[in-house]
Structure 1
Amino acid sequence: MTRVTIQDLRAARYCLAGVRPWFRRHGLDWQAFLDSGIEADTLRATGDALVEPVILQTELRETAAREADDGR
């Protein structure tokens, strides 16, 4: 389960002022996203290619966290 967070949007260098209206256009709850993130599959289901750089950042963050937990 890949969960995208605000941290991932920032890492992808997305403008938060532009992302809020994007969430609204796609019927996604911005505040819920801020509170607990959103599933990558939910973002992909929008069909918007702009989500892929953010999901990549999420996957990189999760991989780094797993490797740190494994003691690598």
Structure 2
Amino acid sequence: MSDIRRAKMCSSGTRAFFLSQGWDWQDFLKNGRDAQDFIDTKDAMALQVVEVANGR
């Protein structure tokens, strides 16, 4: 979630994105998710979060 915030994304929009992907939001908060999953979506905002996460 910290990478999402650093990318200036809101949690409500992110939860909606997870729902659209069929991903479990609570599991993500507890365990994270592999960056490749986000890359595979080809979603511009998801890719932006991956870039932020890789730049830390």
Q: TM-score if structure 2 supplies the norm length?
A: 0.89
- Cα-to-partner distance string for 1:5-55 (whole Å, 9 max, x where unaligned): x11000001011111011000111111110011111011111212111101
Q: Which runs of 5+ in 1 are unaligned?
A: 1-5, 62-72
Q: TM-score if structure 1 supplies the norm length?
A: 0.71
- What residue in structure 1 maps to residue 54 of structure 2? 59
What is the root-mean-square deviation of aligned Cα atoms in Å?
0.9
* Equivalent residues, number: 56
Per residue, is there more helix in 1 or in 2? 2
- What residue in structure 2 maps to residue 41 of structure 1? 36
CA distance in 1, matches of 2:46, 2:15: 13
Moved over 6 A (4+): none
- What residue in structure 2 maps to residue 14 of structure 1? 9
Per residue, is there more strand in 1 or in 2? 1
Name which one, 1 or 2, has greater alpha-carbon Rg.
1
